[in-house]
A and B are shown apart, each in its own frame.
Chain A
């Protein structure tokens, strides 16, 4: 036993520090960076359009680099890239928001409700979401959008969420199944709580971190999906998103003409926003899976015991 004995003080301290004090994730640097980046992009999307000019206004300084008056230069037809970027940010974030909310409801409904009630309901819900999962999403989206000539941003978002919720539902179902069989849920059932109350009050709070991380993923995939769709020329007509900006930049040969200020910012914003959400997700992951957070093999390696301490420990045992 003595070989693995650790300093009681160290063990107690590490136990104390690793005990979760609150439900919110601890403010790690990762989380902080993620929140700051995502927050500023969201703010830019909300407030930006109020401070910039008309993104469609054409003038005669085509393909000018970043300079006085045009923060990010102009497009081929002299439109202000920065103004477009502000509106595009708003558009893309709207898609992300709609898809996030719809995915939340769809996956919670098919994942949690089915798993909780069990029986044929679970079987059919699970079959349905598994089928939706293996039917490839983007080709389906492309085909659907090719049949609908005039698309609104809302339609694109709805189509993206219809094809994208299944993965989350599967994850939620697995977790609900394990929560459902815990003793306290059985106790609640025995004490005569209504099924809806058990679902909403006893089970749902346990799923909140998982739901949050699934929604964050859904938002990333939605923004990327919309960008891809718009880039292929199949996105929402007549609205600005990061994807449509890239589409017009590519069609205007922005890269070949060296107009990096037109092509780089939208892609970079997508990447930054995605990375920020991913960083937030890391922190949520550490709540869901405590093993990711404390007492790793590496930290065990640092538990050193000095010769004198070892000797003292041996003495006390003997």
Chain B
């Protein structure tokens, strides 16, 4: 119980830190959103002082209130789920945009991460078990795949599988306007159809890390004495591999799974850009392209929140898988 409370406390602090970063970042960095926006407008014609006022009002930078007061107002707005209005998707509110795009990303990232984790851990187990086999020698190759830039691999796969052989759609989620996110078969089928190729690239470029980590832990675990004992007892190799070695070796991978979620969400931004997939990442890029600061802030918040949530979930799960973590705290 104490462990869980500690974890909850930590995530509360992290959440608060993210909120604060989100608030102070625009106010501390040299670029002023109002100026950036006005200079964009100025390219199309003269800008009147009223326009400047309107932009300031829209972005909420029109107050002379001290930072602390603004900070409290910001926190108050957040807890009533008022994230402002999007400029890029005007007149939709930021909350609506997030609601529309989040399920797509979760569908894609969820599938891809789980597949990658399962494949990587399984292959890593086998590679560590039969050290020096062809599978084990494959590990440097998969590590090389991991250092291939995401988007580069994605574009080449897109060119080959989408352009030359036309197995998959060139840009994903085209019928986003016809399909509403939900639990209907329409949405799920659409996610699968448009998500396969992006998911494939994510799996290819991330499976190597899981494999290497699991393989190294397997090698370490296999040199433990209790494995020798198990062998001496004459247990079936299959049983030693799965219930004796792999079960203990997988623990760091499970912990790594949580940390990697952040990286996966990050990678999805690039992937979504390549496949023009209608998820959070595309929305974020669109927001950046259109200087849509409230949408940017809202999306960053959601991304942080989902990463924190996933981490918390895995942490809590971990305390059940590995009782030592509870005892240690």
- Name A residues whose Cβ lies closer than 8 Å to a Cβ of B: 4, 30, 127, 130-131, 133-140, 142-144, 146-149, 167, 220, 224, 227-228, 231-232, 234, 243, 246, 250, 255-256, 263-264, 266-267, 270-271, 273-275, 277-279, 282, 285, 289, 291-292, 295-298
4 extra A-B contacts, CB within 8 A, seeds A138-B266, A139-B265, A278-B144: A131-B17, A134-B308, A136-B266, A224-B149
User: Provided the pairs A148-B31, A246-B149, A271-B149 are in contact, do residues A143 and B300 lie with their beta carbons within 8 angstroms?
Assistant: yes
Mark the stretch among B110-118, B178-186, B216-224 that contacts chain A. Answer: B216-224
Cβ A255 vs Cβ B220 within 8 A:
no
CA distance A136 to B259 in the complex (A): 10
Contacts of B99 in A (CB 8 A): none
Cβ A291 vs Cβ B147 within 8 A:
no
A-B contact count (CB 8 A): 165
List the 9 shortest-distance A-B pairs measured between CB atoms, nearest first: A274-B147, A138-B266, A267-B152, A275-B144, A147-B29, A147-B31, A271-B148, A146-B288, A278-B143
CB 8 Å contact bits of B106-124 with A (1 = contact, 0 = none):
0000000000000000000
Cβ B307 vs Cβ A270 within 8 A:
no
State how many angstroms separate the Cβ of A235 from the closest Cβ of chain B: 12
Main SS of the interface on chain A? helix
State how many angstroms separate the Cβ of B221 from the closest Cβ of chain A: 9
B33 contacts partner chain A, Cβ-Cβ < 8 Å:
yes
Cβ B262 vs Cβ A136 within 8 A:
yes
User: Provided the pairs A137-B266, A291-B220, A296-B223 are in contact, do residues A270 and B149 lie with their beta carbons within 8 angstroms?
Assistant: yes
B299 contacts partner chain A, Cβ-Cβ < 8 Å:
yes
Q: Please pick, from A149, A256, A271, the residue contacting B144 in the complex, using a CB distance under 8 A.
A: A271
State how many angstroms separate the Cβ of A183 from the closest Cβ of chain B: 22
Residue among A30, A148, A220, A267 facing the most chain B CB atoms (10 A cut-off): A267
Nearest CB in chain A to that of B143: its residue:
A278
User: Provided the pairs A135-B17, A137-B266, A147-B29 are in contact, do residues A30 and B140 lie with their beta carbons within 8 angstroms?
Assistant: yes
Cβ A131 vs Cβ B14 within 8 A:
yes
B55 contacts partner chain A, Cβ-Cβ < 8 Å:
no
B226 contacts partner chain A, Cβ-Cβ < 8 Å:
no
Q: List CB contacts (< 8 Å) of B133-155 with chain A.
A: 140, 143-144, 146-153, 155
Cβ A231 vs Cβ B151 within 8 A:
yes
Nearest CB in chain A to that of B307: its residue:
A136
CA distance A234 to B13 in the complex (A): 30
Range of interface residues on B (Cβ < 8 Å): 35 or more
Cβ B156 vs Cβ A274 within 8 A:
no
State how many angstroms separate the Cβ of A171 from the closest Cβ of chain B: 11
B304 contacts partner chain A, Cβ-Cβ < 8 Å:
yes
Cβ A133 vs Cβ B259 within 8 A:
yes
CA distance A264 to B14 in the complex (A): 40
Q: Please pick, from B10, B25, B220, B259, the residue contacting A147 in the complex, using a CB distance under 8 A.
A: B25
Cβ A139 vs Cβ B17 within 8 A:
no
Q: Please pick, from A146, A167, A231, A285, the residue contacting B296 in the complex, using a CB distance under 8 A.
A: A146
User: Provided the pairs A137-B266, A296-B219 are in contact, do residues A220 and B147 lie with their beta carbons within 8 angstroms?
Assistant: yes
Q: Please pick, from A144, A267, A277, the residue contacting B148 in the complex, using a CB distance under 8 A.
A: A267
Nearest CB in chain A to that of B267: its residue:
A138
